[in-house]
Each structure stands twice: as structure tokens, then as C-alpha cells.
């Protein structure tokens, strides 16, 4: 279980943000892709940054499987994050880009080598180990980024608009793949998206974030079609 309790954060003075003061409460369970939606600047990416350790909360608790992690350094947390920009090294082939998730020194034993090849196979990239990022499609590059995240075997997978640059058919394919992996490996995934259709496809439950707060966490279809909250309806263009 991922449990976030009264996690407070405030941007330093001088940094102009739409939402300066934030306070988050959230829970997610293994095998779940929990979508996070809401207006730009509402705090979705900041929440991911707090979980990953890129921001330091002023107070509050982040628990993973009963262990508090909010005081740990980013490298010590059981967390991996995938961004919209896949952050692949253009001068390294696919295998090597993924191998960096196992050991930055690229010193791999036979078991690690086999594990990388298996992960590439699982993501439909088995024939692309020697390919360079520039030779791949956008969807394939994003699969490499996800493979690099998965190979780390962490409990929490954070995705910050990872499919934003993809067309509808490819987005659907990637989301279905993500769901299958999360269920199979019993990970917990938080997916930030500006597309309600992504949440509907990816998630049984969706959290709506507004002004640095999780103001609603409901079954996705209910949130998108029956919410009584003005903030949600304004965001969806229903008012």
C-alpha cells in the first residue's frame, strides 16, 4: 500500500506557482494504476516529485508497505519515475539505455543480462536491443523508458504524462500494456494525464487534484460523469 497522509509542501518565495501551498492525502494499492487529473498548476507533478524525493515536504508522511520514506534520499526510495520526455541517451543503444536502470556502471552479471533481455521481450522490444533511439518510433522510445523503469524492480512507478506525445491508438496500446505489467508485478502506479480518456482506460479509481489538494478520489467513470464538484465540471468543460 502507498499511503500519503497530510503531506505538506510550499514552494520557496520568489518561485511563482499557481498553487504555492499544498497538502495531500492519498492511498493506492498494489496492482493499481491510479490516475491523477486536474488543471495545470494544481500540484499533480509536484506530488510525484514529493513521492520521488525531488521535493522535500514540510510535514506529513509517505508510507510504502508500512515503511516511512519521506526522509530518504531519492536513490534510497522504492520509486521510479517516467516523464513525458523519455530521457534516453541518444548515443547508447536500447539494451544499454535499459541496463543503466540496473547498474549505472554497466557492469552486469549473466542474470542481470538475461533479465534485461526478458524485459525487452515483454515490452515487444526483443529485436531492438542494438537499435539506437533515433531509429525507433515515439511509442518504441517510450517503451524503452518504461523498460528501464521496470528493470529496477521498485514497488512504486510514477508516470508524468508519459503518453502525451502519442496518438490515440498508440496511447491506448501503451496504457493497456502498462495496466498488464502493473497487475502482473503487483506494482503501484500513479499516472498523471490531462486526458480524461486516459484515466477512463487506465484506472478503476481516479484522484482529482485542485489547488494543491486531492479534492475527490472516486471510481473513474463516476468522477467523470457524476461529480457534484464545480471544480471537476469546470475542468471537464461541463459548466
Classified by CATH at the fold level, domain 1-78+157-239 comes out as: Rossmann fold (3.40.50)
Query: Is residue 31 helix, strand or coil?
Result: coil
Q: Which residue has the cell 486526458?
A: 195
- How many other β-carbons are positioned within 10 Å of the β-carbon of residue 31? 15
Tell me the whole-structure pTM to 2 decimals: 0.88
Residues in the chain, pLDDT under 70: 13-20, 85, 239
DSSP secondary structure code for residue 135 in this structure = G
What are the pLDDT digits (tens) for 123-167? Answer: 889 999 999 999 998 888 888 988 888 888 899 999 998 888 788
| Residue 74, CB-side half-sphere exposure with 13 Å CA sphere | 11
What are the pLDDT digits (tens) for 77-91? Answer: 999 998 876 778 999
Spell out the domain ranges in the chain.
Answer: 1-78+157-239, 89-153
Amino acid at each position: 500500500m502507498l499511503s500519503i497522509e497530510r503531506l505538506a509542501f510550499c514552494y520557496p518565495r520568489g518561485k511563482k506557482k499557481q498553487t504555492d501551498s499544498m497538502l495531500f492525502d492519498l492511498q493506492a494499492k498494489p496492482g493499481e494504476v491510479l490516475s491523477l487529473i486536474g488543471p495545470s498548476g494544481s500540484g499533480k507533478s509536484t506530488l510525484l516529485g514529493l513521492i520521488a524525493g525531488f521535493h522535500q515536504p514540510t510535514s506529513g508522511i509517505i508510507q510504502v508497505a508500512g515503511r516511512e520514506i519521506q526522509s530518504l534520499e531519492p536513490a534510497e526510495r522504492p520509486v521510479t519515475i517516467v516523464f513525458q520526455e523519455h530521457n534516453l541517451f541518444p548515443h547508447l543503444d536500447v539494451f544499454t539505455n535499459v541496463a543503466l536502470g540496473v547498474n549505472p556502471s554497466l557492469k552486469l552479471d549473466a542474470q542481470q543480462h538475461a533479465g534485461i533481455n526478458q524485459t525487452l521481450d515483454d515490452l515487444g522490444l526483443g529485436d531492438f536491443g542494438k537499435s539506437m533511439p533515433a531509429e525507433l518510433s515515439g511509442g518504441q522510445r517510450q517503451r524503452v523508458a518504461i523498460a528501464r523503469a521496470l528493470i529496477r524492480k521498485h514497488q512504486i512507478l510514477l508516470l508524468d504524462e508519459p503518453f502525451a506525445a502519442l496518438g490515440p491508438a498508440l496511447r491506448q496500446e501503451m496504457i493497456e500494456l502498462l495496466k498488464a505489467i502493473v497487475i502482473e508485478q503487483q506494482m503501484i502506479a500513479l499516472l498523471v494525464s490531462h486526458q480524461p480518456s486516459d484515466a477512463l482506460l487506465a484506472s478503476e479509481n481516479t484522484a482529482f487534484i485542485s489547488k494543491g489538494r486531492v479534492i475527490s478520489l472516486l471510481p473513474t467513470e463516476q468522477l467523470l460523469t457524476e461529480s457534484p464538484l464545480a471544480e471537476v465540471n469546470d475542468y471537464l468543460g461541463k459548466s
